[in-house]
Structure 1
């Protein structure tokens, strides 16, 4: 995992704990669309368009653009984040959009707790952090929470955008096959549906544009989904 430029010897950005760091960040920029935005991530659109709406889990949901997009299309979404401000913001967005019955927002430090339930889709979009995190274990738990026929979508940074907090030119981004190997999922139960590194145009804060690379992994739990 890449590190923040301001990391003390304990490994904590500015000496903060993870929940304190992310809460301060979201609270500072609450309601500032220029910083966080509420646009849906394009690779979620690409993956979920055409799927039958069911239950979805949005890991580290942030400002809530993915959650609202899914809910508008009939999904019942559990949105989780470590920041109370982010969770409260998503509840508000869902209510304003008339989607309160389709969105459950919960605060979780995923290094310690994981939401209950089973899902047809789990989305982990840019699940990066400047803190030490048992990421592979969390994503493995996410895969195990899938119902038969369900998909785990992992989208990671594959390049550094000009607006990224990580500007380390030596930063290394694991390839999709490496991410899959870290999960240690038996091929008899979870199959790879997609593993590639597409490039796309992206727009960051203040309208800055750049071409970025994403690392995309889609894992599907074998077996047909159960009948409704």
Structure 2
């Protein structure tokens, strides 16, 4: 009879500035996982978490957010840049506005609530180790809300930054062209020649790698006041 192989436990690091939370999570994972999970280290700030992760190479890290000496979002980003990065689940009791989006951008793959049942916490650790993101319905709703709030603003700001990279005269010509003025009308408004107007628009197109229609769309995204107002 061949010996029954025992699955290698998932190694976990726990990071929280409250030692009691770390101890409670350690007890939960060690006592309820039936050997499926083992805690390899505990840390109480971001700097210590990164240092211990380099030493112990955990499969998963449970990461608190608000901590001294390096917050959890920054620490998550640093952990995900390690040569053999661990999966990171944010350890929290709340999902403040903007936290879910920032955590996802830093490389976190989900959330674990400090008030979840032990089996739920363990299941989330197992699933994220398998490569399955662990965003509960509340965090999914918050992520969608954050993206809905911030993405339009980001697109607007990106468009404004591109327009600001043009010279003052190029930018003015582009804005007027986006309002539907012909080259002749733009030249009259800018007190210059039509040839110079064409040169400004051509230069703007080359700098931004956009044709006249795309430049008009860019101005629309920038949501700037009309120069004709």
**TM score, norm. by length of structure 2:** 0.31
**TM score, norm. by length of structure 1:** 0.31
The structure with more helix, counted as a fraction of residues? 2
**Which is greater in Rg?**
2
